[in-house]
Structure 1
Amino acid sequence: MTVIASVVMSLLCAIAAIFVLITVRGTAERYKTEQIAATAARIAYQVKRDRIAPVLLDETDADVQVIDPHGRIVSRSAAILTRPRMAAFRPVESSPQASKILCHSLAFPGRCMIVVAFRIEQPDGLWTIYAADDEVPWHVGAPLPAAILTGSALLIGLTAVGTYETVRKALAPVDAITDKLADITATDLSQRVPVPKFRDEIRRLAETANQTLNRAEMAVERQRRFASDASHDLRSPLTAMRTEIEEALLHPAQADWPARGQALLDSLDRLQALVTDLLQLARLDAGAPPKLERVDLGELAAHELDRRQRKVDVVRDLGGGAVVVGDRLALARLLNNLLDNGERHAVSTLKVTAYAKAGEGVLEVVDDGAGVPPDKRELVFQRFTRLDAARSKDAGGTGLGLPIARQIAQSSGGTLTIEDSPKGARFVLRLPLAPGDGHVH
């Protein structure tokens, strides 16, 4: 930025210098021409009064030649006493005066001169007075280029220093943000980058960086809690299995090996369910693209209910028209998680309903159990969360079924919530209807 600003200022100074030189030179040239013309007019006055001498000793402002009607030089300045006629042009009839810049005059070899011709009428004819002086040089005078160069150098220097300091101060917050980001590690995400006081792009950068750090810290914290909860839940079936085996080995003759084997299988089932749920969560967290297809929620629910071993009575109300776009396997997993949860908490009956309403496909799973208090309805969708009632009724749940179900619903562009019900818990899945399916139930 400093180099660019300096180059631009240099170009501006060069343009300004050329403009100043041209303007001052033009002004100086006009002024000098007027001085030469004034000298010629004064000599013309002397000619009119017949007071002209053959040699003009007092003319120092310009070199003068007086030409009679026959073209003879009748008077001249002492400095050009022996030189030939300096010019041949004459003023036009409409003007008594004319001026030219001559660079090839025989009277001034190797010099460019401003020559003014002044015409006067005498009884014997037209007389011409020529007055000449050196042309104004392009630099006008030595002090002018020196002043321009000095001023330009000062301007360019001030521009460079000012630009450098301005950019340095403007980017100082970026350096501070960079240094702070370099200090932040994955083990300590509590630090935040400094936010500048001015509301500009760098402040937005700092605020965005802090928001990103907030999300990263929350994500890392969730991962830590998840790892802690997962290790605890995985350790429980392993501990139970080890206990069963150690007790049997202490008294192998008295051990009921079939019962021990069944207990080990139960623990293995729980362990397998946990691992399956953890793998499903890992796939969902990775954001793997789903295999999209048209799915009829009613047909999907009927198919899944037909192949399940029912632990409670199931009431179906699976109307048509609830056709959505989603991953069939993922939606089947979502439904089975809701059915597993409903069967664990239902007293005797589970109701499954599917219908279309207001551009959405809706699937409801309602049990006749104790239900979920309103203040705990979001809590049950957190990972490894099981309410006290659930723990006392059934210790076989992993605490991941409902979080997985909600994450599948959200990845499919829908929602999964717990809504009011006269009795028990009412889980409601809402997904956008597939294009072309706008039936209303």
Structure 2
Amino acid sequence: MNSHSIQARSTIAAAGLLLVALVVGGVALDLAVRYRIQNEVFFAAEQVAARWSAAARNGAVPRPIPTLTDITLVQLVDARGRVVDSSREAAGMRPLSTLRPPADDRLQERTECSGQDRCVMLMANRVSPAADSPVVYAGTAQPSLLATHTLEYVIAAGGVLILVPVAWMTWWAVGRTLRPVERERQFASTTSHELRTPIAGLRARLEEALLYPDDVDPRDTIQGALRATGRLEAIVDDLLLLTRMRGADAAPPELVELGALVTEEVSALGSGVPVRVRAVGDVRVRGSRIQLARVVGNLLSNARRHAVSAVTVSVDSVDGQALVAVTDDGAGVPPADRERVFERFVRLDEARRRDSGGSGLGLAISRDIARAHKGTLRIEDSPVGARFVLMLPLAGTAGAAGEGTVAPRKTAVKPRRNIWPARRPPGRSMSATASGDAWE
């Protein structure tokens, strides 16, 4: 079951439960409103009918019968069904009802509807227990909320206005909750695929050596196995680093002078494409020295792998940000791939051709480290080649990495195989070469 299926099922379940609750609540509200309106109308009609019934017993009913409330239809009807007296609004009308309450239940309510769908809510009050007693009818036209389905439409519209936003918020919340899970699932799937490839190659070489011992050179088999093992080791090491960066306790940050750090990384490189360093001033940031060295090392290795003749590294500060730019004179990275190269296990065709043993995690790890230091790592436009730009908050600024923002502990990260040499003064240009990872 994928995340979209879970998201859809969760949204449907939540919307279904809410719909049931809204239907029950809407019906209850509709009945309550109708009952209240009916009760108020009949109560008012009862008061008017009782008043003029008492007046009729005393022979003091005026002509016409005055109305001072919303109960405007008042009639005094004799035992033969003739209208003896009425209010102005009921003048000329047929008797409002044929109901004659019995002597033992002289006050009754009734809703009378004509053929034209005109309904009147009224109270019938028998004036006296006598057989020929007249009846007083007092009522009013049925309110529109009771005569039509307007109330139901209003309640239904309100339910929709509640249901739709809640369903959308449920979809959004479940999707947001499942998004990291889906990323982890994709990562696990991609990792399994990347690990399966060198394992399958290693197994094939070993099986071939066992099945055809006379036709297979043991030295070639061992060398191939070592290459596959080296790729496996690189992938596992980078996966462990990613896990430690996310799950380990934070280490107290330290002040790191980026010019000196870059100089040390360049001096640790082996032979190959020369690297020129231009460091301006004293550029200090706060963070993990080992992690920042890993970022610089990855960028240098990538740049030298793709450079034609030279790599340039500049260290500067701009608007409260430390800037480290690594530029090579190679083919560069196409604009469409400038974000994709930072994804895990993404290796462009040129990278695979130049370095088949890379893990494909170097740039992903570098960007994670930059973000952990409240900085950015991106590829910018360059007249020639690729230009990777690392920006970090300068030490002492509001955005600088503080306590608990850098992970993992320095002791938790496997140290690089190169040990830092003695520092060289920042700003000195130097040339050095070494092998490194491809775009990864």
Counterpart of 1:239 in structure 2: which amino acid? A
In structure 1, C-alpha distance between the alignment counterparts of 2:202 and 2:11, rounded to whole Å: 39
2:352 to 386, 391, 411: 391
**CA positional deviation for 1:343:** 2.4
Q: CA deviation at 1:194?
A: 7.0
SS in 2 for 1:312: coil
Matched, 1:353 2:329: no
User: Paired residue for 1:221?
Assistant: 182
TM-score using structure 2 length: 0.52
* 2:245 alignment partner, one of 284, 296, 299: 284
In 2, Cα distance between the equivalents of 1:203 and 1:285? 37
Displacement of 1:309 after TM fit? Answer: 2.2
Which residue number in structure 2 is paired with residue 265 of structure 1? 226
The equivalences for 1:78-93 within 5 A come to none
Matched, 1:343 2:304: yes
CA contact (8 A) 1:296 1:324 kept: yes
Distance of 2:211 and 2:266 partners within structure 1: 45
Pair 317,337 (structure 1): closer, same or farther in 2 beyond 3 Å: same
Please, which moves more after superposition, 229-238 or 318-327?
A: 318-327
Corresponding residue for 2:328? 367
C-alpha distance in 1, partners of 2:168/2:7? 19
Superimposed CA distance per residue, residues 341-371 of structure 1 (whole angstroms, 9 cap, x where no aligned partner): 2222222322221111211111111122111
C-alpha distance in structure 1 between counterparts of 2:396 and 2:235, whole Å: 37
**Structure 1 residues 191 and 415: alpha-carbon distance in aligned structure 2, compared to 1, 3 A threshold:** farther
CA displacement, residues 186-238 of structure 1 (integer Å, 9 cap, x when unaligned): 99899775798979999988765543311233222211211111111101111
8 Å CA contact 1:189–1:217 kept in 2: the answer is no
> Structure 1 residues 244, 362: CA separation in 2 closer, same or farther (over 3 Å shift)?
same
Q: 1:298 aligns with which of 238, 244, 259?
A: 259
Structure 1, 424-433 or 295-304: larger mean CA deviation: 295-304
Answer whether contact 1:355 1:361 (CA < 8 A) is retained.
Answer: yes
Task: Tell me the CA shift for residue 428 of structure 1.
Answer: 0.2
Partner of 1:323: 284
- Residues 396-435 of structure 1 aligned to structure 2 (within 5 Å): 396-435=357-396
The verdict on how the C-alpha distance between 1:241 and 1:428 changes in structure 2, with shifts beyond 3 A counting, is same
Give the secondary structure class of the aligned counterpart of 1:305: helix
Distance 1:282 1:193 in 2: 38
**Does the Cα contact within 8 Å between 1:196 and 1:203 map onto a contact in 2?**
no
Deviations 1:307-365, CA, capped at 9 Å, x for gaps: 23243211111233220011111111112221222222222322221111211111111
> Match of 1:240?
201
In structure 2, do the counterparts of structure 1 residues 283 and 208 end up closer, same or farther at CA, with 3 Å as the change threshold? farther
Name the structure 2 match of 1:379. Answer: 340
Name the structure, 1 or 2, with higher relative contact order (CA <8 Å, separation 6+).
2
CA offset digits 1:217-276 (Å, max 9, x no partner): 322221121111111110111111112212222333453323322221111111111001
Worse-superposed segment, 245-254 or 410-419: 245-254
Identical-pair percentage: 43
SS in 2 for 1:352: strand
Q: Deviation digits for residues 22-66 of structure 1, max 9, x if unmatched?
A: xxxxxxxxxxxxxxxxxxxxxxxxxxxxxxxxxxxxxxxxxxxxx
Partner secondary structure for residue 399 of structure 1: coil
In 1: Cα distance, 2:309 partner to 2:9 partner: 50
Contact 1:343 1:367 in 2 (8 A): yes
Partner of 2:146: none
The 1:291/1:347 distance shift into structure 2, 3 A limit, reads farther
Amino acid at match of 1:294: L
User: Could you tell me which residue of structure 1 aligns to residue 213 of structure 2?
Assistant: 252
Note the residue ranges of structure 2 that are not aligned, 5 or more in a row.
20-158, 399-440
TM-score by length of 1: 0.52
Distance 1:436 1:223 in 2: 34
Q: 2:293 aligns with which of 314, 317, 332?
A: 332
8 Å CA contact retained: 1:190, 1:217: no
Mean Cα deviation higher: 285-294 or 185-194: 185-194
Change in Cα spacing, 1:207 to 1:189, as seen in structure 2 (3 Å) is: closer
Larger radius of gyration: 1
Amino acid at match of 1:435: G
> What 5-or-longer segments of structure 1 have no aligned partner?
1-182
Q: Distance in 2 between matches of 1:405 and 1:228?
A: 22
For 1:309, the equivalent position in structure 2 comes to 270
1-side partners of 2:13 and 2:291: how far apart? 39
Greater shift, 295-304 or 417-426, is seen at: 295-304
Q: 2-side partners of 1:349 and 1:396: how far apart?
A: 23
